[in-house]
Amino acid sequence: MDNNSEQLAAVSALNADLQVKLSTLQDDHAKTVADLQMKLSQEAKAHLDAVAQANTLKEELAAFRANVRLNAVKSLFSDLHREFSDEAAQPYLDMSEASFAAISNDLRSLKPALKADYFKDTTVNGRVPSKSEQDFATQLFAQVAGSK
């Protein structure tokens, strides 16, 4: 009986010790899980902030590229003495970068170099032609030269 009592006391002490260790481990586990959840939440927020910033930068880059292309198209029209309009510019705005660069370079290299007073010297009646007449002549020359 004494032996059983001693074993019961030893097992009870061991059980109490294991209960304390189990409780400590559960508390540590709960704290670790809470810390990991907080870190995960912070990382998720940082990720969402980075995605939002990347989207903003993409939008700014797209707007910048569109503005650069618009200015390039306006410059091309000016160099070719053509009237700029949204409708006439749309095909150039929709082109890929490589296509636009190739076409722009081709059109600039094939454009006629006409002096402003060229038509004044060649008109029979001596009147100065309007800009639209100069544009028409430039386009006619471009068609004959094969650029259209």
| 105 or 50, greater pLDDT | 50
- Between CA 134 and CA 119 the distance in angstroms is 8
Tokens of 46: 């940082």
Q: What's the pLDDT score for residue 148?
A: 43
* pLDDT per residue as tens digits for the range 81-104: 888 999 989 998 998 888 888 888
Q: How confident is the model at residue 1 (pLDDT cuts 50, 70, 90)?
A: confident
Task: Look at 32-41, 58-67, 76-85, 114-123 and tell me which has the smallest mean pLDDT.
Answer: 114-123
- Residue 31, pLDDT above cutoff 60: yes
Which string of b and e fits 87-120 if b means at least 16 CB within 10 Å?
eebeebeebeeeebeeebeebeeebbeeeeeebe
The Cα 16–Cα 12 span in angstroms is 6
* pLDDT greater than 60 at residue 3: yes
With pLDDT > 90 as the criterion, what percentage of the chain qualifies?
A: 46
Indicate the pLDDT class of residue 143, thresholds 50, 70 and 90.
low
User: Could you tell me which residue, 44 or 118, shows the higher pLDDT?
Assistant: 44
